[in-house]
Amino acid sequence: MKKIVLASLLATGLMAAGNENYFGISAGNAKMSFSASANGISTDGDTDGTQYTAVLGHYYGNTGRISAAYTYVNHDGDVDKSDAISFAYDFILPLAENKFSLYAGPVVGYTRYEEPGLDLSGFHYGAQAGALVQIMDNIELEAGYRYLFETGSDSIDILGTSVKVEADDVKMWYVGANIRF
């Protein structure tokens, strides 16, 4: 019994040492690349917009964090819906007495992209990397870049010809702030 009590006290003490939840917001740019093909002819294109992201996550000490994020992309033009939900794990490299850190890690999730007559929604996977700067005990600034491979595809009819459109990737850069609690 003493061993169980000692182990639980030790685990509680370790969890309190730097294990914190956080909430973050960021804004930046998101650019989706796609390819279209019909009758042996193919072309590439892209669409971009301003992206806004809200993140809820948990730090594991000062060397790792896990997060869930919702991203909304505001496109110009005929885009009906463009958003994503992502889950990430970041490996953190603390530098400069834990006031500045670099991070990188994998990202997976689902992207929803819909235009009139076209739905390129599908799963995504990729990686993100960036930097964290602690400005107060519980507030930090964050800047990063995310590269995601997209799996969405659809076919549309243009003048009697079926055109296959496939989402290729999304590139995002962002800046924001996190509050640890």
- Given this model, what pLDDT does residue 18 score? 67
**Residue 145 neighbours by CB distance under 10 Å:** 14
Global pTM value: 0.85
Nearest-angstrom CA–CA distance, 101 and 116: 43
What are the pLDDT digits (tens) for 71-105?
999 987 788 899 999 999 999 999 988 799 999 99
Query: b/e per residue, 48-75, with b = 16+ CB within 10 A?
Result: bbebbbebebebeebeebebebebebeb
Nearest-angstrom CA–CA distance, 162 and 164: 7
- Given this model, what pLDDT does residue 14 score? 41
- Given this model, what pLDDT does residue 49 score? 94
Counting as low any pLDDT under 70, the low residues of the chain are 1-18
